[in-house]
Structure 1
């Protein structure tokens, strides 16, 4: 059986952010903490070793693979900041076009710094992601 590495844990969010380098990345992490907390309505929790997640949902794929994941979140990584925002809703792409300087991966949105993006659009993306996952996984 597959063992998920990215699980919610009791690590301290503030201690995690305090260890972030460089200083500007740490400042961005605190700003994102405020934005995600206020916008999602969920408290911040550490998932795995480096993701700050908000809320959670349980997923199950047709393959039988299942687990829990944060509704939304971010990770202040060395190279870039990863934003975890739900894919699958057509309005996501429309909002991403308005976000500002970013790159997208399979499920992540990557930014260099928070000053590169429109905070109002980020807040809309957070709300859209939470609503999309709540609709897709009604037991959230």
Structure 2
């Protein structure tokens, strides 16, 4: 059975973030890293070559496929900041998303153009709720 393509690496998160081309996006990426470290209590780890992750959980599908993935994370993509909130796509989080500010969502991802577009306290709450939900619903190694 194939392994998950996106695995944790020993690459430097700060080196990766320092290479973000846009100065504003680079600044936002370092701020999101700080927020996620504060909210989760986890150290930032590179997953693959473009995702910064915090924490890790184990999944196992009915098909028998299983693996490990980050609990929350982000990637400073060219078009937007992609924030991975795997536990936040439940309907119960709709009221928080409604208060967040300018964003898009899709398949466990929150997309924002810049941090100034969103309410940082609501973003922190979404990160915490997602992290806590994942920790409660999925075992860790």
Structure 2 length normalisation: TM-score? 0.93
Give per-residue Cα distances to partners, 1:10-44, cap 9 Å, x unaligned: 00000000111111110000111111110111000
Question: Structure 2 stretches of 5 or more lacking a match?
Answer: none
Number of matched residues? 140
CA distance in 2, matches of 1:66, 1:98: 35
Is the CA contact (8 Å cut-off) linking 1:89 and 1:132 kept in structure 2?
Answer: no
Instruction: Normalising by structure 1, report the TM-score.
Output: 0.94
Equivalence for 2:38: 38
Is the contact made by 2:96 and 2:126 (CA closer than 8 Å) also made in structure 1? yes
Quote the RMSD (CA, aligned, Å): 1.3
SS in 2 for 1:11: coil
> Which 4+ residue blocks in structure 1 deviate beyond 6 angstroms?
none
Aligned-pair CA distance for 1:131: 1.0
Secondary structure of 1:62's partner?
coil
Which ranges of structure 1 fall in alignment gaps of 5 or more residues?
none
Say whether the 8 Å CA contact 1:84–1:108 is kept in structure 2: yes
